Structure 1
């Protein structure tokens, strides 16, 4: 089959690499220009560089709605478009243009976690597995019929970086198997159960701000979901921003006001957490390592020399 690829960052790069390793002909790659958005500078392997290295024509676009792109697609007459991490809406005159439509590769187990940053949101929400879905694109966001899915488990101490590495490794086998099914006429497209759909927005730095009214279990997952190289979860101490890079849920239950720097437990410092913390029946967040704004990383027991005072969402 003749294939055009739409994609961006490492997800798009892996998808293009998988296509190049397949028996199919890649006739063009369309990708976004480099971005200064904090999350789009992470996992930023270049689709354009890979395409150019292999002599594949490249078009850079923020939005796929210009006459030149449409004309080029018509001229190339692809049998299939494959998309992964394309950041703006593809119009029907593009996704329906090839005979086999457009295959979108999405890093969640659809219909859950459609949209943006699915791995981060899934980890925050305590999902037990994450994965990759290959589906046919339609006019709704990540809503088209599913061809296949592959899942990996989420471990109790996994970070979002761990989950990224596991799921990005699924891209090549998912792409190869999907194109094999489509080319051979064996593809079976299964409609999504839209009653189970959930949609998530693109993350920004504001979404890394710690809200001490969250229970400790949720905060611990937020911190794992903001592991390096992502912007770490942050809070403020005495007016200064600090990032929490390692934490656990405390062994003991601690009562009081959310955000209170309370007591040493083992090799960490307990911070009271949860809206109902006043009842004394909730676990606290056991902070183990912090990073200051100058980049210094310290054990929490070294940073918090005395107990008392509060960690706050804002200075």
Structure 2
């Protein structure tokens, strides 16, 4: 059988090779939005298209033409919508469920194949790497067991997708040292707008934060605001 792995994050790109070795099946990797087309999928003829981390909407021509499996970092239907990791940490969650579901027209509303527990400790980058390992195992399970997806049960709770401006520490609802810690760590991953402060026409970004009893220790980078690097997106896919 042939499958497609579509991911927009670099930490998942090795997954296709590992899954080919792990399952004995053929996996094709797609990393660019413009390459995910009906024409390309008809050429590959996959049984399923897996989306371990895809920051774009999946067009109807794709999810209606092929079985598309997406992975969402909440215990659906709780937490439908954007920036699930950041929204979870901001709400005080220390663990969640990673949900594999079928892509449908309504955002994060499709039937569920399976769920697995996921720890939310550490930086966003560390959590995403932990999730990638878990997603790889979940994909192998779906291929092996071919579970029939089941409708979601319960009342949906909707998350709002974060914007780059939401990473401003001076505007965040922070009261304690632990609030600072969670805010900085939840944004600390490649391709995400990191926690920042603007001061005297410069921007200070914070990463690699550690909580040490009565203080935070971490790394900052200071930019002139007119020399800021491009930010990829809002605050989470």
What TM-score, normalized to structure 2?
Answer: 0.74
Structure-1 residue corresponding to 2:181: 220
Q: 1:208 aligns with which of 156, 160, 167?
A: 167
Distance 1:249 1:197, change over 3 A: farther
Q: Deviations over 1:124-160 (max 9, x none)?
A: 22112134221111111222111111112334xx322
Whether 2:31 is the aligned partner of 1:70: answer no
Q: Give, in angstroms, the shift of residue 202 of structure 1.
A: 5.0
Q: 1:291 aligns with which of 199, 206, 220?
A: 220
Structure-2 residue corresponding to 1:196: 156
Whether 2:191 is the aligned partner of 1:235: answer no
What TM-score, normalized to structure 1?
Answer: 0.58
Distance 1:153 1:213, change over 3 A: closer
Q: How many residue pairs are counted as aligned between the two chains?
A: 219
Q: Give, in angstroms, the shift of residue 177 of structure 1.
A: 0.4
List aligned pairs for 1:134-149, cutoff 5 A.
134-149=100-115
Contact 1:136 1:147 in 2 (8 A): yes
User: How far apart are the structure 2 equivalents of 1:89 and 1:228?
Assistant: 21
Contact 1:105 1:135 in 2 (8 A): yes
Q: 1:84 aligns with which of 52, 61, 80?
A: 52
List aligned pairs for 1:117-132, cutoff 5 A.
117-132=83-98
Q: Deviations over 1:188-226 (max 9, x none)?
A: 32212362332331542x221012653224333102213
Structure-2 residue corresponding to 1:10: 10
Whether 2:123 is the aligned partner of 1:162: answer no
Distance 1:14 1:114, change over 3 A: farther
User: How far apart are the structure 2 equivalents of 1:105 and 1:222?
Assistant: 23
Contact 2:52 2:135 in 1 (8 A): no
Q: Give, in angstroms, the shift of residue 9 of structure 1.
A: 1.7
Q: Which runs of no fewer than 5 residues in structure 2 stay unpaired?
A: 225-237
Whether 2:143 is the aligned partner of 1:171: answer no
When the two chains are superposed, the root-mean-square deviation of aligned CA atoms in Å is: 3.3
User: How far apart are the structure 2 equivalents of 1:72 and 1:247?
Assistant: 45
User: How far apart are the structure 2 equivalents of 1:75 and 1:249?
Assistant: 54
Partner SS state of residue 191, structure 1: coil
Q: Give, in angstroms, the shift of residue 291 of structure 1.
A: 2.8
Distance 1:71 1:236, change over 3 A: closer
